[in-house]
Copies of this chain bind each other. A is one copy, B any other.
Amino acid sequence: MLKDKNEQRTSISELGEFGLIKHLTKYFKIQQESTEKAIGDDAAVLEFSDKQTLVTTDLLVEGVHFDLAYMPLKHLGYKAVMVNLSDVYAMNGTATQITVSIALSNRFPLEAVEELYAGIQLACDTYKVDLIGGDTTSSTTGLLISVTALGEVTEQDVVYRNGAKPNDLLVVSGDIGGAYLGLQVLEREKQVFAANPNSQPDLEQYSYIVERQLKPEARKDIVKLLKDLEVKPTSMIDISDGLSSEILHISTQSGVGCNLYEDKIPLDPQVISTCEEFEIDATTIALSGGEDYELLFTIKQEDFPKIKANPHLTVIGHMTDKSEGINLVTRANQKIELTAQGWNSFKKD
């Protein structure tokens, strides 16, 4: 939240659109065999041969999805890629290419856009994904990023949301609630800073949850882990809107019910301690927080031995007959019907 007073400011209009794209993408390397032709023609040309192609897209808008007061541009670029790759992994696929379009107002100098692209490049390098196209334009206000991710998957491997069966186990990767809590910490620090611009934020004790918010990782490793364990989920989704909303998607699309056990929900110690500090209920955060980008999936009971000792995976419930409904089973052993409290950008203000 400190401003570098020596920062360079080069106007983007000097470069023009073609010059800007060339400048921003010159260090990107092609890593996927399926990329025949990336940037530089009317369209990119890809070769998926016998595999199926996955396509997903997400739009991030300044003032709605992110606040540049505490979101560094490099992290933002990284995160914009992650939220899209996460959707490809949720199909049990391999992410292979992305397109990135940005609209930005003239308050952003070239150096700011370079930072954004540095984050995009880091994501591409880390996840072995090729940047194959995009569009760069001005906007009347603010910054907007539109990413489309492509991936590949064999017909045998693809996992939809609608394959869960009664008695299947409900499994989640990692832990949840951290990203939302990290946002609460950052919002609080922003207000402290607004009241006293000389204050220095000490985020040490929140490092994990702040990182979950600012630099999430898509769970490519879980897709690989499941393959190694020879477990094919019966259904899968990524957690972008909160556990509750995602369980409802899987259950309704699969035509089954679900019992989610409150005491099984994996929470990081920092989530628990921060919830105590903020005097909010950790289960509520896990159910409705969102932005964790963990994978939520169902597996057949017979696959349980293969995953049970794994520290990255937690069984949090099981699917039931549709007639039993979609429920949270509380620590007090009470059944409460789950309702989606996921985030709705249209209701924000």
A positions within 8 Å CB-CB of B? 12-13, 15-17, 20, 36-37, 40-50, 52-59, 61-65, 86-88, 90-91, 93, 97, 99, 101-103, 106, 132-135, 137-142, 144, 146, 148-151, 153, 155, 158, 160-162, 236-238, 253, 344-348
By beta carbon, the residue of chain B nearest A347 is: B13
> Which residue of B41, B91, B344 is within 8 Å of A45 (Cβ)?
B91
Q: B346–A61 contact, CB under 8 A?
A: no
Q: A135–B59 contact, CB under 8 A?
A: yes
CB<8 Å pairs between A and B, sample of 19 = A12-B346, A17-B344, A36-B52, A37-B160, A41-B91, A42-B86, A43-B93, A43-B151, A44-B54, A45-B153, A45-B158, A55-B133, A57-B133, A57-B146, A59-B102, A61-B137, A103-B144, A139-B144, A146-B146
By beta carbon, the residue of chain B nearest A155 is: B47
Q: Known interface pairs A42-B237, A43-B87, A45-B158. Does A58 touch B103 (Cβ–Cβ under 8 Å)?
A: no
How far is A237 from B64 in the complex, measured between Cα atoms in Å? Answer: 37
List of B residues within 8 angstroms of A101 by Cβ: 57-59, 146
List of B residues within 8 angstroms of A133 by Cβ: 55-57
Q: A141–B138 contact, CB under 8 A?
A: no
Q: Known interface pairs A13-B344, A57-B148, A103-B144. Does A88 touch B43 (Cβ–Cβ under 8 Å)?
A: yes
List of B residues within 8 angstroms of A155 by Cβ: 47
**Residue of A91, A99, A160, A345 ringed by the most chain B CB atoms within 10 A:** A345
List of B residues within 8 angstroms of A65 by Cβ: 137
How far is A146 from B102 in the complex, measured between Cα atoms in Å? Answer: 10
List of B residues within 8 angstroms of A43 by Cβ: 54-56, 87-88, 90-91, 93, 149, 151
By beta carbon, the residue of chain B nearest A46 is: B53
How far is A62 from B64 in the complex, measured between Cα atoms in Å? Answer: 18
How far is A344 from B15 in the complex, measured between Cα atoms in Å? Answer: 10
> Which residue of B54, B138, B161 is within 8 Å of A345 (Cβ)?
B138
> Which residue of B20, B63, B97, B151 is within 8 Å of A140 (Cβ)?
B63
How far is A346 from B149 in the complex, measured between Cα atoms in Å? Answer: 26
How far is A238 from B113 in the complex, measured between Cα atoms in Å? Answer: 28
How far is A142 from B146 in the complex, measured between Cα atoms in Å? Answer: 16
Q: A17–B50 contact, CB under 8 A?
A: no
Q: A99–B141 contact, CB under 8 A?
A: no
List of B residues within 8 angstroms of A106 by Cβ: 346
Q: Known interface pairs A13-B347, A43-B56, A346-B12. Does A140 touch B253 (Cβ–Cβ under 8 Å)?
A: no
Q: A16–B87 contact, CB under 8 A?
A: no
> Which residue of B17, B44, B160, B346 is within 8 Å of A41 (Cβ)?
B160
By beta carbon, the residue of chain B nearest A13 is: B346
Q: A44–B55 contact, CB under 8 A?
A: yes
